Structures are given as C-alpha cells and as structure tokens.
Structure 1
C-alpha cells in the first residue's frame, strides 16, 4: 500500500483523536457499557424467577441472553430501544398513530408556539427592566419567585383554569406551560446582555449625541446577542419539556408525552423509552437549529460566529 493511500486514514484518525470526537465517543461507549450491565442486573430477576419455577438453574450466559430479549424488561437494552425507535419512525407512515414522527409533530407545534411566546415575553420584560428601575425592583423578584413553583403542580392548574375560561383545547395549555418554562432564561440572559456594555462605551455614544433608541440598537442590542442565543438554546429545550409535561395531565392520546404515558400505563417500557429518545433527538435538532440561527444573526450583525475563532 502506498503512502498516498495510507495518509488519508492517518489524517482522519488524527482528526478524531485531536478533535472533539474522541471524548464524546469515549463517554458514549461508557454509557452503553453501563447501560448493558444495568439491563442484565435488573432484568435477571425475571429470568431467575422463571427458572426457579421451572426447577432449572440457568448459566450466566443464558441469563445474559434472556435479559437482552425480554418483551417487557425493567430496563430495555440499548439495541431494543434502537430497534423500537427505528420501527416507530422509519418503518411507520408519518400519518400513522403509531409513528413517533406523527406524535413528535404534535409536540413540536406546542413547543414552537410556547418557545416563541416565551422568548418574546422574556425580551420585552428584559427591555423594560433595563430601562426602568421601578420595573426592575417590582417585576424581577416575581419572575424569580415564579420559577420556584414545580411545573408538575402548575400544569394541572393551568389546564383547569383554561377549561374554566372556555379554552377547551389541548394546544393552548401546552403552549402556556412551554412559555412559562422558556421565558425565564431569556429574561435573565437578556437583562445581563443589555447591561453588558461598559460605562465608557455608553459615554462614547453620548458624546455623539446618540438618542436612547440609537444606543439601544447600536450598542445594547448587539452586545446582548451572545447572551440571547445562549439563553435560547436553554429555552427551546425547556419549552419541549413543558409541552411534554403539559400532555400528561390532559389525558392526551397524541404527542410524545402521551406515548410515554401510554407505555407506562400499559406496561410497555419499550414504547416509553422510544418516545423518550425521540424527545431527546427532537431537543437536539431544535438546539442545533437555534445554533444555526445564531451564526446567521451574528454574521448579519458583522460579528464572528462561535466557530470562527480558533
């Protein structure tokens, strides 16, 4: 084999070893190994119980083999979850009620609505707090206190109140819960970002007779963008959690939260775990989308993206 043929392989391995992939793959492998070990340990109880009833004594290899193929395991093995996830996404039509793509779309609608609502509310309140000391002293403490209420206790109350005022829908309560979870990180980060310009920068604009509006758009807003997008990544994940939590007490039959609930109620852990991983994948896609939007916004504002500096 020539050096020219060997060089690309060495370069690829050096890229993996010297970059960020190796730590990620190492942690992933460790998680998979621990997961398999925990699956054998937790599912072995059923195997040993069945063997005792049959009057047999299985070997360790037989125990391991049985724990990997149980239909209703206490802890599904990774390959079982992957197979179920594949079956309920790729193998099913997107319009099927068994498709996680269909249920993910239901959850995504409430997530996006809640995320946008929470982001707009957080930015609006942050702007008011930065420009009004009275609002800072009166609103900010209540915003902090509001986050001490457990969402699992607040969700049923929101649903009951929505029904009481005539909102008999399942999207609106989920949107409210999503907005409730997503507005706070945006609020806190935007307050920090809008206040990040130093006194020297503000005084420089004053020397040019810049108005308050000009100072906001030329100085405060560009300075707040890194804080804003960092908060948006947290907010979009929190919004997804809010949408899923909002589906649980409503008795919904559609959505990822509903699939988790159905899997739990009917003793189908594979359905529950597949829906859980589908939600994790959806959260990752949303965070990546926010990251791409961040790069585009920073480029339009003339600022280097996060991946620009090395």
Structure 2
C-alpha cells in the first residue's frame, strides 16, 4: 500500500505546486496593474498574496477552488440551485441513462459484427467514421431534431452521451468476443456445441475483461457527452450549465469548481465499475 501511495502523493504535490506557481504568473498582470494605478510597489510576498486571492483570476489558486466547492456542497442545501451536488445530480442522470443506452447498443452491435460478416464489412467502418465528427457539431443537431418531434429534457442529453459511449463498447466487445483462439473454438465444435452455446460459454466469458475496460472509457465519455449536451440548450441546471454561467460572467472560480466536481464524479463512477469488475472476474476465476 505504501508503494502505491507514495507515487500518487508525489504526483499530487507536484500538480499543486505547478498550479500555485502558474497562478502567480497568470494573475500577476492584474496585480501589477492595480499597484501601478495605486502608485505602489509590490513586494514578492504581496504579489503572491494578491495573485492567490483575486475575485476573478485568470487561474484561481487551488485553495480558492476548494473553498468554492466547500461552499457549494457542504454549506448549501442539496435542493439549492447554487449547490454543486444538485447540478451534479442533473448531469449524472443524463450520464447514467446515456451510458446504459450506449452499453446496450454497443454490445448488440458488437455481437452482430462478430456473427455477421455483412455487418462486419458494412457497419464497422461507419461506427469508426461516426467518431470523426466533432461532438460539438453533432450535439446541436441532435437537440434540434429531438425538440422538433417534441422530445426535450433528459433524453436529448442522454442521446449525446450514448453517441460518445457506444463506440468504446463496440470496439472492446468485438475484440473480446473474438479473443478465444482457434483451439478453444475447435474444442467447442468437438463437443458439438451450437453457436448459442459457444457464445454463452466461451465467447462472452472471454470478453469480460475487455468489456469492463471499455465500460470505464465509455463512462468517462458519457459524462463528457452529458456536459456537452447542456451547453447548446442554454441549460440552467447541470455541471455544463455551471460552466456556461461561469464563462458568461467571468467567474473562473465557479468554472474550475465545476470542472473539479466533474472530474471527481467521473473518477467515482469509473472506480465503481472497477470494483464490480474485480468482484465479477474473481467469481469467474479470472483473477
């Protein structure tokens, strides 16, 4: 445990050190400008203190972001429109729905690609091509089309999340379902196993390590999709809405607190998938 903890702590300390130094350099122009107008000379300690305490800094210091997160999580009611927990729940709802849809859709596509040569030759290239289109270009089109048919709210954001999350599931499951070697497949034929039996007893169990790895990527992509889906709609709730409001009013501390909250949310979701992965693979005798 110590061997794993020390490298992580070292990286975290280095990140915070670089962050604090960068805050000094990026915020110093405003500090010098205020000092020039007040006709005073800043000492090094005064410069550092000013750059780490500005109301609208170019780059807020870590303690400013931490204070903002504390104020908007612990000191606010969960139902408050200023609570990061409230906004995180709105984004999480779209993320989980889009992730579930993307997982089911991606898995079904992967099975079709593996078992149907026509789908392999025709669908797989389109699956890959779909990811070359920037999500910022796709998101407004999805929202406009769905709004035109009377669908709004959670589902359009979930569709954007699904668009980003299904791809890693397809790729991972195709690789996983094709992972059994020829000797294993020949053994199943020797036992006169049907295609369904081969799928359930060989291909699907063999694909589980690939499946869970792709789920971790898909979950992170799904969260990005949910946040992006909140931007073109001018949403008033969700982490994307917090980012949008912060950019409108130059509230960089609010922007960074929403970004850190989104990162923490993604890390938590991926960690949950990791726990499920370890439990399931252990029960299957794979770890």
> SS at 1:118's partner residue?
helix
Aligned residue number for residue 110 of structure 2: 126
**Could you tell which deviates more after superposition, 276-285 or 288-297?**
288-297
Q: Which has the larger radius of gyration?
A: 1
The CA RMSD over aligned residues, in Å, is 0.9
Q: Does the alignment pair 1:255 with 2:238?
A: yes
1:77 equivalent among 38, 51, 61 = 61
8 Å Cα contact 1:107-1:240 kept in structure 2? yes
The corresponding residue for 1:172 is: 155
Q: Pick from 136, 156, 164: which aligns with 1:152?
A: 136
Provide, for residues 82-109 of structure 1, a one-character-per-residue CA deviation record: whole Å limited to 9, x for no partner.
1101111111111111100000000000
Query: Can you give the 5+ residue segments of structure 1 that lack an aligned partner in the other structure?
Result: 1-14, 305-310
Matching residue of 1:207: 190
Q: Which moved more, 1:25-34 or 1:221-230?
A: 25-34
Q: In the alignment, which residue of structure 2 is the partner of 1:244?
A: 227
Report 1:213-252 matches (<5 A).
213-252=196-235
Q: Please give the alpha-carbon distance, in whole angstroms, between the structure 2 residues aligned to 1:260 and 1:237.
A: 18
Q: Cα distance, 1:155 vs. partner?
A: 0.6
Take 1:293 and 1:279, find their aligned partners in 2: how far apart are those partners?
21
Counterpart position of 2:24: 40
Q: TM-score, normalised by structure 2?
A: 0.98
Measured in 2, the distance between the counterparts of 1:217 and 1:21 equals 40
Q: Distance in 2 between matches of 1:97 and 1:140?
A: 43
- Aligned residue in 2 for 1:143: 127
The CA distance in 2 between the partners of 1:164 and 1:97, in whole Å, is 28
Give the whole-Å Cα distance in 1 for the aligned partners of 2:11 and 2:284.
37
Give 1:278 shift: 0.5
1:79, CA displacement in angstroms? 0.5
- CA distance in structure 1 between the partners assigned to 2:134 and 2:156 by the alignment: 16
Q: What is the number of equivalent residue pairs in this alignment?
A: 287
Q: Which residue of 1 aligns with 2:276?
A: 293
1:272 paired residue among 255, 267, 270: 255
Q: Distance in 2 between matches of 1:204 and 1:30?
A: 53
SS in 1 for 2:219: helix
Match of 1:60 in 2: 44
- Taking structure 1 as the reference length, the TM-score comes to 0.91
Q: Determine the C-alpha separation between the residues in 1 that align with 2:74 and 2:84.
A: 9
Measured after TM superposition, the shift of residue 302 of structure 1 is: 3.2
Who is 2:78 aligned against?
94
Aligned-residue offset at 1:27: 1.1
Q: Which runs of 5+ in 2 are unaligned?
A: none
Q: Write the distance in 1 (CA, Å) between the matches of 2:251 and 2:153.
A: 25
